[in-house]
Amino acid sequence: MIIAKLLPLGLAFIMFAMGLTLTIGDFTKLAKHPLAVALGLFTQMILLPLLALALLAVFPMRPQFAVGVMILAACPGGITSNMITHIARGDTALSITLTAITSLAGMLTVPLIVAFALGHFMGGQVNGELPVAQMALKVFAVSTLPVALGMALNHLAPRIAETIERYARPASLIIFGLIVIWAFASSWRAMMGSLAETGAVIILLNAGIMALGFWLAGAARLPRAQRTAIAIEGGLQNGALGIFVAANLLHDPLMMTPSITYALVMNLTAALFIAALLARRQRERA
């Protein structure tokens, strides 16, 4: 299908648009607030895949769905995480830093976790290409490289980048929506038929990682704004990348299902999370 073939271009554009909002200075927060950044990275890059693996041990499912859950858990932060963190009055700068680091690291973390999942749940039997190096190169081409190019343009020509970003940001959100709609339509039957099998894991994974991230940051006595950013960044994943890995690299539509379902669940959960935070602030002011 032509839309599936355009998926890499759409994902690359989304990541380029994200890169236009990032600067080298975003990484300096690592030095200024090492604990907040370390906890955010731990929550998203280590705790999230481990939580997914634990849930899959408790709620067994078909190997393709299990791999799909791990693909989703391996993905970096989503394109809306920074905006939603801002709406929730979280630490937007921290959210941007975490998005930047995880997006650039994705070329290594995604293939490694996906390769582990394929070996663990399917014995390495896939329709696509399994070699980690080839997968890393493709993830780099459609994800990490566009982010780096966007950052480079923002550094070398910030005014041009700002002008492009003004149009690229809403366009990227539209493209992301179209990708999810296409994946939703093409996998409707599989998704509806799998809800009983995957629904509990998807909901618990999303709600669980947000709760754990918020709790860990609270246990470390981080300010509420940073706790909010860590929770949202951990809970909002790049579903478009998950769909790309499943559809274009592994060529297995069933593996797309968890990313599609998660893309719907995470926005609802984020809305409830924001509503709870704002309601709590109102009560504290009263």
Short-list 77, 116, 73, CA closest to 98: 77
> What are residue 77's DSSP bridge partners?
237
Structure token pair of residue 186: 């093409």
CB atoms inside a 10 Å sphere around CB 284: 7
Task: Give yes or no for residue 3 having a pLDDT over 80.
Answer: no
Distance of alpha carbon 167 from its chain centroid, rounded?
22
Q: What is the mean pLDDT of residues 91-95?
A: 83
Amino acid at 285: R
Instruction: Give the mean pLDDT of the chain.
Output: 83
Number of helices (H), then strands (E), in the chain: 14, 0
DSSP sequence for 152-217: HHHHH-HHHHHHHHHHHHHHHHHHHHHHHHHHHHHTHHHHHHHHHHHHHHHHHHHHHHHHHHHHHH
* Domains of the chain, residue spans: 2-277
Q: Choose between 237 and 2: higher pLDDT.
A: 237
Q: Are 26 and 100 in contact (CB under 8 A)?
A: yes
Coil/strand/helix, residue 263? helix
Task: Give yes or no for residue 124 having a pLDDT over 70.
Answer: no
Q: What is the mean pLDDT of residues 101-110?
A: 84
Distance of alpha carbon 200 from its chain centroid, rounded?
19
* pLDDT for residue 249: 84
pTM of the model: 0.81
In this prediction, residue 13 has a pLDDT band, given cuts at 50, 70 and 90, of: confident
Q: Over the range 114-150, which residues count as b (16 or more CB within 10 Å of their CB) and which as e? A: bbbbbeebbeeebebebeeeebbebbbebbbbbbbeb
Distance CA 207, CA 8 (A): 29
- Alpha helices by DSSP H, listed for 47-144, are 48-58, 63-74, 81-87, 92-122, 132-139
Distance CA 54, CA 33 (A): 30
C-alpha dist (Å) from residue 129 to 24, 87, 247? 34, 40, 12
Angle formed by the axes of helices 2-19 and 145-156, nearest 10°: 40
Determine whether domain 2-277 maps to CATH 1.10.10.10: no
Residue at token pair 């929506």: 177
Residues 26-58 pLDDT 10s: 667 667 778 999 999 999 999 999 999 999 999
State the maximum Cα–Cα separation within the chain, in Å, rounded to a whole number: 59
